[in-house]
Structure formats: C-alpha cells, structure tokens
Amino acid sequence: MGDEYMRLDLNEVGVWELCLLLLDEKIGARKFINSHDDEGLRGTFTHRFLIFISIVFIRGLKLISRPLECLGRFIESFLNLWTHYASFCMLVMNTIQGKNELSRESPKFSSAVGLTDTREELDDEIHRDDPRYISALAIMAAKTAYDNEARIKKIVKDWKMEFVGFYNCSDGSSQPTQAFIFIDKTGDHDLICVSFRGTSPFSSDDWCTDLDFSWFLHHGIGFMKALGLQKKFSWPKELEEHEEYDDKIFAYYKIRQVLRKKLDENENTRFIVTGHSLGGALAVLFPAILQFHHESELLDRLAGVYTFGQPRVGDGEFCKSMEALLGAERYFRFVYSNDIVPRIPFDNSAFKFKHFGDCYYFSSFYKRQKVMREVPNKNYFWPVYWPVSIGLMYLNALFEMVRSGALTYAFGRKYKEGDFFWGFDSLD
C-alpha cells in the first residue's frame, strides 16, 4: 500500500480544470489531482467521466452542507419532540410555553436512523448460546451507532453490558468517522463489539466520503480515508508520538489501541466488528489493515465481521485476500431486498469492484431466501439500466410503503417500523 495513489484536492477544482479532465486523458496533469505519477497517469473517458461526476456531486454536497444539516436538525428535533410528548397538541402547547428541553445530546434524543426503527432492547428470545445471538447483537449495535454518545451509553447499559467508549475521529480533514465499543459479559467469555457508524442521511460529509474517488487507483480498495489513511496512501504501523491515539483523528489507530488494551486484560476475550452501510465497509477494512500490519495476535482474537447493507469494498485481488483471512466462519454479510448500497460501487469493467464471501439475502418480508454469492440484479442502478431501474424503484417504493403498514398485523409488534421510515422506503 502506497506505491500507487491518487488524491483529489477539491480546493483546486475549477470549471476549466474539470473540462480538461473530460478532454485530456492525462489525469495526473490536473491541478486538483495529486498522484504517484503526475506526468504519466492516464485514464479512459469512462474513468475520467466517473471522476468528473464524483467531483460535481461532492461540490454540490459541499454547497448544501449547511442547509442539509439544518434540515436534518429540524426534522430530527421535531420528530423527537413529537415522540416524546406522544401527541401533536402537547408538542404545540409545550413549544408555546417554552417547555421543550429535549437536547440533541440527551440520552432520550434519537437519530434519524433510530427513528426509522424505534426498538432499543435486544431480542429476549435469542440467548447467548443461540447461533443467531451474535448476529442479533451486531445488527442492534450497527443501528445504535447512529445515535449520540449519551444515548448509546444508556442503551448499552440497558443491555446489561459494559460501555467502553464513543470515538469521534476523522482523517485529519472535516469528514468525521464515528464508532463505539462495548463489552458483552453475559457468556462464558467476554465479547468486545466494535460498531462503526454508517452514512447519516443529513450529513454531506458522510455522503462525500461515499463519493470520493481518491481510492480509484489504490489497488481497487475504497473507503480507506475514513479509517485514517495517511497522505500518499501510506499506512504506517504506528503513528508519530504527537499524533498517537488522538480521539479526533485516525479511527483505525484509536480503535486498535483500545482493543490491544482490553484484549490484554483477559486472554479469553474475543471481539467482533460490525456496521451498516458505510459502517459495514469500515468493518471489513479494519481487519484488512490489521492483516497489512501483521497484527496476528489481534486477528486471532477476531470472532467475526458482521455487516448490514455493506457496499462493495475492493477488487478481485482484495476479495481473494479477505476470503483467505476471514473465511465463511468469520464473515457475515446481510443484504435486504433491493437496497442499492450493496450494489455499489459497480461490479463491471469500469469499477471492477466485487463482493466476497456468502451473502445472507432477505426478502421484503424479512425472510431469508438463501445464502448466495451475489445479490440479484447486482448492477441495477448503473446508468445504462436507468430507463428500467428507476421505474422499478418507484414501484418498489410503493410496495414498501404498503408492506410497512402490513408487517405489524402479519408478524407482530416486533416488526413495527417507525413512521419516519416511510419517507425512506424509496431507498430500499
């Protein structure tokens, strides 16, 4: 890692430079691209067009960053207050009287993602010796990662587990990476869970991380900047002394340091890594970097990687390496129905991204169809399919809304979805 790299400097992007990107195959000549070979780096029109589209979307997201954040804060605050007071009338009365004191940092304040599924408790029908237990724990941890620190801490304590810490890290820029760690002490050995937060709906920084093409020439591995990839795509095994374990930067190094300490305290302790969406990608990359650093002692204590709605992370070579590292016993990838995220980046001649391992695929009624190597319609959102796929997406969104209302009556209260989920049905 580090022989080849390409990094986008959005501060240097101008209209003329973007036009030259489309017209000139010499990618390295562009002012906003820093690479290992500024003179010789070239790309096909398809590659250049994809970088062009990525930059346009990122710049657009940057422009609406503040309005998007304000919209998100308003929606989350309104829905939390509505839920808290249990009626619209009470909400209006308390607002008029100035009695609304539900802080965004309160343990009672739920994220937008938390509002889509209001369950907090673990499934009391699945116990520690049940083969489904760790998967059930992982999915709740992945969902909980979207909440604020105080709420996460409260939920973990309600589970009768030990809260270790919440970490708000970044790659040294403005784009944050969040994760939290807790310990399940209910079994015959302690189980540490590391849960990465995914893409928050109203965070332009998170969406920019998803769209950043700096990974494009880095051996076909994406999303690594969010873990703390250094300049020129280097991964030093240890940081400089003044940078070491700063909570504000470099998620990989901070989490590794916490794991080293906790695993040293008890030789029987194991750990899992989980995450949803972007968080799932980071959960896969974390052991990949451990392997790169020859952290055999940590990897021997890794019980499994559990991802939900995870995007593709690497190319064929990366997938072979991860299959050899994790195998079917330590990698569990769950995919729901027509979710678009597990189908990007695309598995085609332009991107060459692939999934590895088995996929546990669930239908719209949360029934597992079968274990498969790849999801159906793996590239359905690729532009050439838009005339058909967009129409199907709208039909699917309509079906999802009807299904959401029917689930509770068909399968019981455990399948009840939050009202806020209806607004996001079209994303599934």
The tokens for 19 are 């036009």
Say which residues have a Cβ less than 8 Å from residue 67's Cβ, sequence separation at least 6: none
For the ranges 65-74, 134-143, 402-411, the maximum mean pLDDT occurs at 134-143
Residue 78 lies in a domain: no
Residues 325 and 197 in one domain: yes
In this predicted structure, which of 274-278, 340-344, 377-381 has the lowest mean pLDDT?
A: 377-381
Domain count, the chain: 2
**Rounded Cα–Cα distance for residues 152 and 145 (Å):** 7
Token pair 């699917």 is at which residue? 396
- If asked whether residues 270 and 149 sit together in one domain, one would say yes
Residue 383 confidence (pLDDT) above 60:
yes
Q: Where are the beta strands (DSSP E) in 262-398?
A: 270-276, 302-308, 331-336, 359-362, 368-372
Q: What is the pLDDT of residues 246-262, one digit of tens each?
A: 556 688 999 999 999 99
Task: Note whether 359 and 414 are same-domain residues.
Answer: no
200 and 134 in a common domain: yes
* Res 154: pLDDT: 97
- Which of 30, 7, 41, 29 lies closest to 232, judged by CA? 7
Q: How many CB atoms lie within 10 A of CB 11?
A: 7
pLDDT class of 418 with cuts at 50, 70, 90? low
Q: Are 228 and 375 members of one domain?
A: yes
Asked whether residue 323 is assigned to any structural domain, the reply reads: yes
Same domain, 359 and 405: no
* Contact criterion met (CB below 8 Å) for 216 and 47: yes
Same-domain check for residues 338 and 210: yes
At residue 286 the predicted structure's pLDDT band, cuts being 50, 70 and 90, is very high
Residue 141 lies in a domain: yes
Give the residue-averaged pLDDT of 54-71. 88
Say how many C-beta atoms besides its own lie within 10 A of residue 314's C-beta. 28
For 404-417, write each residue's pLDDT tens digit. Answer: 666 666 666 666 66
Lowest mean pLDDT among 24-28, 45-49, 85-89, 152-156: 85-89
Which domain range does residue 419 map to?
A: 387-428
The number of beta carbons lying within 10 Å of the beta carbon of residue 43 is 20
Q: pLDDT > 70: what percent of the chain?
A: 75
pLDDT per residue as tens digits for the range 104-117: 888 989 998 888 88
Residue 144, domain member (yes or no): yes
Task: Name, in order, each residue with C-beta under 8 angstroms of 240's C-beta and a sequence gap of 6 or more.
Answer: none
- Residues 330, 83: Cα–Cα separation, whole Å: 39
Whether 174 and 209 share a structural domain: yes
More confident call, 243 vs 65: 65
Q: Tell me: do 361 and 245 sit in the same domain.
A: yes
Does 152 reside within a domain? yes
pTM: 0.84
Identify the band that residue 274 occupies on the pLDDT scale cut at 50, 70 and 90: very high
- 234 domain residue, yes or no: yes
What value does the mean pLDDT take over residues 358-375?
Answer: 78
- Give the pLDDT band of residue 293 (cuts 50, 70, 90): very high
* pLDDT for residue 9 is more than 80: no
Top-confidence range, 331-335, 346-350, 376-380:
331-335
Could you give the angle at the alpha carbon of 27 between the alpha carbons of 22 and 28, nearest 5°?
150
**Within-domain flag for 61:** no
For residues 117-155, one letter each, b for 16 or more C-beta atoms within 10 angstroms of the residue's C-beta and e for the rest, the string is beebebeeeeeeeeeebbbbbbbbbbbbbbbbbbbbbbb
301 lies in the same domain as 173: yes
d(CA 378, CA 335) in angstroms, rounded, equals: 12
pLDDT of 115 reads 84
Answer yes or no: do 298 and 343 share one domain.
yes
User: Residue 159's pLDDT is what?
Assistant: 97
| Residue type at 110 in one-letter notation | S
Asked, for residue 420, whether it belongs to a domain, the answer is yes
> Which carries the bigger pLDDT value, residue 7 or residue 108?
108
Instruction: Give yes or no: residues 218 and 364 share one domain.
Output: yes
